[in-house]
A and B are shown apart, each in its own frame.
Chain A
Amino acid sequence: MKRTVDVNIPLGPIHPCFKEPVRLKCEAKGERIIGAELELGYMKKGIERIMKGRPWQEVMFLAERVCGICSVIHNMVFIEAMEQISGIAVPPRAAYLRVIVNELDRIQSHLLANFSYCYTIEHETLGMYLLDLREQVMDELERLTGARVTCAYMIPGGVRCDISRQDAENLLSAVDRIEQDLRRYVGMFSDGPMIALRSRGIGILTKEAAQRAHAVGPTARASGITFDCRLNHPTYRQLGFVPVARVDCDNYARIMIRFDEVAQSISLIRKCLQDLPKGVIRGGGVCKEGETRYSGEAPRGELTYFIRSDEYGRIVDIQIQTPSIMNIEACCHEMIIGVDSVADVTSTFISADPCVACTER
C-alpha cells in the first residue's frame, strides 16, 4: 500500500537524549509519526565469542560486562545456569544474599531509567534527585560487594562474602532513607501537571500489542501483563513475591511501574534481612558437562542464557537473549506509531528503557 510520507526524520545515532547509539528512522505525516524503523549495530562487542572456551571464573566477569546498568543479574543468571548444569545446591543464606544484591541492582537500574525519562522530558530537577538517590543505592552495593557496578558477587555454590551485622544495620537504615526520599519524588512525578501533559496518554502500548510484540519486563507489566520471571525463582517464591502491574499502558504507567517496583524491591530487601537464615555461604561444587537454558528477571525483563559446557566446566557454546530487543521492537512498531510530535518520540523511546549495550552484546 502506498503511503503519503511528508518527511523522514532520522533520530540518532548521536542524540542528546539517547544514552547509547541507536538510529530511529521515523516517517512523519505532518508532525504525526506513522511509522518507524530501527537501525542497530553501532556497538557490537562480540562478547559471546570471547566467552567460548573459558571457565566460569572468567566468563562470570565477561557476563557482567555485557551490560553496565544491570550487571548483577547477568552474573546471577549465568551462575545459576552453571549450577543447574552441574547440580550444585546453594546454601539458603547465600540464596537470600543473592536476592538482596539483585534487588539493590534493580533499584539502581530503575532509578537510572526514570532519571533518563525525566531528563528527556526536560524535568532535570527530578532527574538529578533520582540520580542522587541512585548514588546512595550504589554506595550500599559497594559496601556489600566491594565494587559499585561490576560486583562479581555470586560464584557457583554460593556468594563471595557474607554480610556482617554492621553492614546489615547500615543497609536497613539506608533502605529506610531511600524509601522516604522516594516517596517524595514519586509524589513529584505523579502530581506534576507538566509531567502529566508529557506522559499521560502518550505512547500507548495496549495489552494485545504488547503480546504481539513480545514485550517483557516493566514495559509489559505497564500494559497489564502480570508476568515476571521471579515467580519461577525458588528464593523469590519463599519470599512470597507477587508482581505489580498497571493498566494505563502509556509512558506515565511505564515510569510509575518502575517506581512501584523500587518500592517492592525495598520491601523484599527488608524481608530478606529479617529472615536471613544462619549458616554457610558457600556449598562448594565443581562445574560439569551439560547444556541448559535458564531465565531470570533482569530490570528490563526476561534474560535468558543458553549454555553448553564441556567436561571440565568450560563454556563450549553460549547464547544470551536480552530483554531490551523485544522492548525496543515493541517501542518502534507499536508505541510510537501515532505519536503527535517528534519530541514525544524520544520520550516514548526512553520510557521503554532501551539498553543497546545488552541488545548488541
Chain B
Amino acid sequence: MDVKRGRMGARENILARIRRAQGRSGGEPTAAETALVREAIARHEVGPQPPFAHAPDRLAQFRKECERLGTTHATIASRSEIPAEVSRYLAAGGLEKRLAGWHEFAGLDWAGAGIAFDNRPATGDDKTGLTGCFCAIAETGTVLLLSSPATPKVTALLPETHICVVGAARLVDTMEDSFALVRSEVGDPPRAVFFVSGPSRTADIEQTIVIGAHGPYRVHVIVVEP
C-alpha cells in the first residue's frame, strides 16, 4: 500500500464523512465555519469554578491541598535560604546531600550548606532533583513546570525526591489563571506544560494506593515568601 497516498485519502474521507453525517456539504470546513471556530476559541471561555478555588488566603489553600496530596512544604523568607532548607529536609529524611538542580539555583551557596550541587538535568541515577516552577495553583496544590533549555522536565521526574521552589508571588488560584499567565508571559505553550500534584502513585493492584510508582516518592515544596 502506498502509505502516503492512503493517508491523504483517509483525511479527505474522514472529513467528508463528518460533514455528510452532520448535514454540511463539501469536503473541508468553509472559511466561515473556520472563522466561527476561531472566534469561539479566542473567547477562552472560563467555566464555573469551585468556591474553594478562590480562597481568601491563597497560600493556606495551596498548603492544604499539598498536604492532601502528600506533598510536604516549608516557607522561607528569601532565595538565599534555599540551601539551608534543602539541607534540613534531606537530613530529616536521611537522604544523601547531593542533588541535580536547575541552572537558576547554581549560584547559591551549596557548599556552605554541605550539599553537592550538580548543575545539569537529572539522570536515572540521581536521588534528588531540584527545580523551580513557572507558577503554582492553589486550588489543587499543583506546581506547573514549562520545558526550556534551562528547565529540564526530567529533573522533576527521574529522581526519587523532587524539591520544588515556588515564589509566593507566582501562586495563582486556578488552572485557568495559570494558562492566562502562560499566554501573557510565554505565548505559545512550550513542548511540555507539566503539572505536578504530589508524589507519583498507583492503585493498580487491588486499588491500594502506593506512593512512588515511576516518578518521585517524595515531593517537597519550598515557598519563598519575602
> Is chain B found bound to chain A in the same assembly?
no
